[in-house]
């Protein structure tokens, strides 16, 4: 079974959704699964250099107090999944095009999943600026890539068109919020749903796969 995961690495619910999907898969170890992470930009008009976090929260939520209420609820949900969100460490909200490009770069070597986890962890628990290419090169090195190779890739335009095309394709499909999990290209789960929401679709996909041909 193949799962396409439409996600942005600065979306806290995407990180929570990833953990819940992993719990669902762990409960069904008999299912062989492959995944692809598909790019979505929560803020497609974000300047390349990103934005000061306080200014971003003011623009999006009308100020810190409203944002703190929202992120308090997110933190509680994250803690239940073993995620220790540290929103107070985040100083800039980044443009995520280069982060998505790094995921594509890593996926070619079979390390896409590892890179997604590293980006989520760096941003949400360490407050690192994952829109900064130097930070992305550091992260690439930390997960075993040659830093010079990663830097050369990010300095060019490799994966840029594909990343932006994935974002546009998601919106054409009517995906306006993430995460969205698409099973076998035809069955979708929207949002950071609990593991139990995955099981009926797992069964549907598997039953369809073994239907006799008449």
Q: Which residues does the chain have with pLDDT short of 70?
A: 209-214
CB atoms < 10 A from the CB of 35, how many?
A: 18
What is the CATH architecture assignment of 2-209?
3-Layer(aba) Sandwich (3.40)
Please name the residues in contact with 6: beta carbons below 8 A apart, sequence gap of 6 or more. Answer: 38, 39, 40, 166, 170, 175, 178, 179, 180, 181, 182
pLDDT at 212: 46
Q: How far apart are CA 180 and CA 54, in angstroms?
A: 28
pTM of the model: 0.94
Q: How far is CA 203 from CA 28, 69, 146, 212, in A?
A: 10, 37, 41, 16
pLDDT at 209: 65
* Cβ atoms 181, 2 nearer than 8 A: no
The per-residue DSSP string of the chain comes to: -EEEEEE-TT-HHHHHHHHHHHHHHHH-TTS--EEEEEE--S-TT--TT-EEHHHHHHHHHSSHHHHHHHHHHHHHHHHHTT----GGG--EEPP-HHHHHHHHHHHTTT-HHHHHHHHHHHHHHH---TTSHHHHHHHHHHTT--HHHHHHHHHTTTTHHHHHHHHHHHHHTT--SS-EEEETTTEEEESS--GGGHHHHHHHHHHHHTPPP-
Domain ranges in the chain are: 2-209
Strand partners, 180: 6, 190
Q: How far apart are CA 193 and CA 22, in angstroms?
A: 11
pLDDT at 30: 92
pLDDT at 213: 42
pLDDT at 29: 95
* Cβ atoms 18, 179 nearer than 8 A: yes
pLDDT (tens digit per residue) in 40-60: 999 999 999 999 999 999 998
């Amino acid at each position: 079974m193949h799962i396409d995961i439409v996600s942005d690495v600065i979306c806290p619910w995407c990180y929570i959704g990833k953990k819940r999907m992993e719990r669902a898969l762990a409960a069904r170890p008999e299912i062989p699964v492959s995944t692809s992470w598909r790019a979505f930009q929560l803020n497609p008009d974000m300047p390349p250099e990103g934005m000061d976090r306080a200014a971003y929260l003011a623009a999006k939520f009308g100020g810190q107090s409203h944002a703190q209420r929202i992120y308090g609820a997110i933190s509680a949900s994250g803690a239940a999944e073993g995620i220790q969100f540290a929103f107070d460490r985040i100083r800039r909200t980044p443009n995520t095009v280069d982060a998505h490009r790094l995921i594509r770069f890593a996926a070619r070597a079979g390390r896409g999943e590892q890179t997604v986890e590293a980006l989520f962890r760096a941003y949400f628990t360490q407050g690192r600026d994952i829109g900064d290419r130097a930070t992305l090169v550091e992260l690439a090195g930390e997960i075993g890539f040659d830093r010079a190779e990663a830097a050369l890739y990010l300095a060019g335009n490799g994966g840029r068109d594909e990343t932006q095309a994935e974002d546009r394709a998601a919106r054409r499909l009517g995906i306006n919020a993430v995460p969205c999990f698409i099973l076998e290209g035809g069955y979708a789960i929207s949002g950071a749903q609990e593991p139990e929401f995955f099981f009926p679709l797992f069964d549907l996909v598997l039953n369809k796969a073994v239907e006799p041909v008449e």
